[in-house]
Amino acid sequence: MIGFIKKDLAMIKSNLKLIGILLIVYAVMGLMGEMDISFLLPFMSVMIMISTFSYDNYNKWDAYAISLPDGRKNSVKAKYIATILMVLITAIITTLLSFIISYINTKTINYEQIVITMLGTIFGTLLVLTFMYPTIYKFGVEKARIGIFLIVFGLVMIGGVLSKYINLSFIVKSLSFLENYIVIILIILMVIMVYISYKISEKIFYKKEF
Amino acid sequence: MENVLEIKNLCKKYDNFELKNISFTLPKGMIMGFIGENGAGKTTTIKAILDIIKYDRGEIKIFGLDNQKYDNKIKEDIGVVLDDMFFPEILTPKDINDSMKSIYRNWDTLIFYDYLKEFSLLPNKQIKTFSKGMRKKLEIITALAHHPKLLILDEPTSGLDPVARAEVIQIFQNVLEKEECSILFSSHITTDLEHIADYITFINHGEIVLSKTTNELLDNYGIVKCTEKEFKSIEKKDYIKYKKTKYEYEVLVENKKDFKAKYNISVMDKITLDDLMVLMIKGEE
């Protein structure tokens, strides 16, 4: 499987410059006290990893991957692990940078807020992965992009309509007792949803013919 | 003789195409040319062998093992070149080496770099800067660098110019001299196979038409060129197919010696795989 991860990471080498530029933009905006864009890097890393599906598809890699030892199983596993690795690495770098910015700006470091923000970001990006990857394996990357746009659009619409008729603050309040466990709940939720997503993708890819 | 590849009654049905009871065997250390026109079923058969597609019925054994059950074990010893280009073109040969050495247990980095040097492929250049011939060479090198016992090559020479084709054929010949390797080599360019293949398997419309040694084919089969009167004197059981051209009849016979002994009609001495393929496909029964 490591070979497949190496191949996926080698494919995004040329995007490292983009990540570097984003880091600089984030640092500058942070120091100027402008908008917090710390979510951008982990989110971009998922987007970059999704672009590897386009290359695989364009160059018909998947058929070849299956002809390699344990190819059907490992190529799916590698995509998930490479993406999670990229999300975690960019999240750690952004978090460290946030500590430095926070210290320069205020002479103190608001550890808790930074870590919670980053955890929320990781959760959000992995949510994208959770929905996107099985959709990509099933319908291909182009259709999956449109599909995910429709899903997000639909959710926003439903949320908007619901908030008109239902008192959402009541739900938030009634769930407030979970606040102390939020970190552990987020982590457990992330593990479960990524695992289920992986199993679905694996099943789709196992049946797929090229 | 031990067989590295055995296919028995392989069937796969699509809406507009069907593989019908494909059966053939490739003995150890031999090269089999797998010929047929485009769309005859060569790639589908190869994809079934490699488990890229699932088949409906039949049996495929590689090194005596079921190809689906022992998928992982088998693939350690197979080198593959597929019909289409398959490496993501933003990768470099160095990236391929780094990945493959973690994928194949027997990956030989030294030999990979030796081949790169031999074929003037730069390790740090992106594949998208390579010509078609260079890409094909890289694919072939990659298929060879883990010392496979079986090479499965789907049209490895198609789209290449004559010089690149000769170079590619030379690579396989060199490998066969050094290593004990069997090759299944699909091609519609039959001239590539006449010199190197020990066996020829011919597929047409999803069915195996014949599977014989190359010598048996080229020595025994013959094409009779004759007049209409002469053709009418030939019994139906003595020929396989015939084609009527503007001035004469071309008749494919399975055993030219027997034919000569029976009829007083001259037989072309030398037959090529191309002649055979055209008459088999276009000829009438």
Domain ends where: B214, B238, B267?
B214
Start-to-end CA distance of chain A, whole Å, equals 21
Q: Which residues of chain A neighbour B84 with C-beta distances below 8 Å? A: 60, 63
Question: Is 90 exceeded by the pLDDT of residue A205?
Answer: yes
Question: Is 90 exceeded by the pLDDT of residue A68?
Answer: yes
For an interface test with A, give the residue of B89, B99, B136, B154 to mutate (most A CBs within 10 A). B99
Nearest to B52 among A2, A14, A210 (CB): A210
> What's the pLDDT score for residue B207?
94
> What's the pLDDT score for residue A168?
64
Question: Is 90 exceeded by the pLDDT of residue A133?
Answer: yes
Q: What is the pLDDT of residues A170-203, one digit of tens each?
A: 766 776 776 777 778 888 989 999 999 999 999 9
Question: Does residue B276 share a domain with residue B248?
Answer: yes
Nearest to B82 among A52, A55, A64 (CB): A64
Round to whole Å and give the CA distance between B285 and B283: 7
pLDDT bucket at B42, cuts 50 / 70 / 90 = very high
Q: Chain A residue closest to B143 (CA)?
A: A68
Question: Is 90 exceeded by the pLDDT of residue B188?
Answer: no
Q: What are the two backbone dihedrals, phi and then psi, of residue A30, each rounded to the nearest 5 degrees?
A: -65, -45
Round to whole Å and give the CA distance between A96 and B283: 75
Name the one residue in this structure whose structure tokens are 């020829």: B200
Question: Is 70 exceeded by the pLDDT of residue B269?
Answer: no
Question: Does residue B271 share a domain with residue B176?
Answer: no
Give the containing element (helix H, strand E) for B113: helix B109-118
Mean pLDDT of A157-175: 73
For an interface test with B, give the residue of A4, A68, A207 to mutate (most B CBs within 10 A). A68
Nearest to B103 among A63, A66, A68 (CB): A68
Question: Does residue B235 share a domain with residue B196?
Answer: no
Minimum distance, in Å, between the CA of residue B171 and any CA atom of chain A = 21
Q: What is the pLDDT of residues B252-263, one digit of tens each?
A: 888 888 888 888
Question: Does residue B35 share a domain with residue B147?
Answer: yes
Number of domains in chain A: 1
* Structure token digits, residue A197: 């997503």
Instruction: Determine, for residues A209 and B53 on separate chains, whether the beta-carbon distance falls below 8 Å.
Output: yes
For an interface test with B, give the residue of A1, A2, A4, A7 to mutate (most B CBs within 10 A). A7
Nearest to B104 among A52, A55, A69 (CB): A69
Question: Is 70 exceeded by the pLDDT of residue B144?
Answer: yes
Domain ends where: B214, B244, B264?
B214
Domain ends where: B179, B214, B249?
B214
Sign of CA dihedral A125, A127, A131, A133: positive
> What's the pLDDT score for residue A171?
67
Question: Does residue B127 share a domain with residue B9?
Answer: yes
Burial A96-121 (b: 16+ CB within 10 A, else e): ebbeebbeeeeeeeeeeebeebbbeb
Number of domains in chain B: 2
The contact set of A with B (CB < 8 A) is 2-4, 6-7, 10-11, 14, 52, 55-56, 58-61, 63-64, 66-72, 207, 209-210
Round to whole Å and give the CA distance between B277 and B285: 14
Maximum distance among all alpha carbons in chain B? 68
> What's the pLDDT score for residue A30?
79
pLDDT bucket at B285, cuts 50 / 70 / 90 = confident
pLDDT bucket at A69, cuts 50 / 70 / 90 = very high
Nearest to A3 among B86, B102, B152 (CB): B102
Burial class (CB in 10 A: 0-12, 13-18, 19+), B20: middle
Neighbour count for residue A146 (Cβ, 10 Å): 11
Instruction: Determine, for residues B99 and A210 on separate chains, whether the beta-carbon distance falls below 8 Å.
Output: no
Residue B74: which domain range?
3-214
Q: Chain A residue closest to B154 (CA)?
A: A64
pLDDT bucket at A128, cuts 50 / 70 / 90 = confident
Instruction: Determine, for residues B52 and A63 on separate chains, whether the beta-carbon distance falls below 8 Å.
Output: yes
Residue A45: which domain range?
2-207
Give the containing element (helix H, strand E) for B33: strand B31-35
Minimum distance, in Å, between the CA of residue A134 and any CA atom of chain B = 19
Mean of all residue pLDDT scores within chain A:
86
Question: Does residue B182 share a domain with residue B54?
Answer: yes
> What's the pLDDT score for residue B173?
83
Mean of all residue pLDDT scores within chain B:
90
Q: For residue B33, how far is the Cα from the chain centroid? A: 4
Q: What is the pLDDT of residues B88-106, one digit of tens each?
A: 999 999 999 999 999 999 9
Nearest to A59 among B50, B52, B89 (CB): B89
* Residue of higher predicted confidence among B191 and A204: A204
Q: What is the pLDDT of residues A16-41, one digit of tens each?
A: 888 888 888 888 887 877 667 778 88
ipTM metric: 0.88
Q: Which residues of chain A neighbour B72 with C-beta distances below 8 Å? A: 69-70
Sign of CA dihedral B109, B110, B114, B117: positive
> Please, which residues have CB within 8 angstroms of residue A206's CB and are 6 or more apart in sequence?
A72, A73
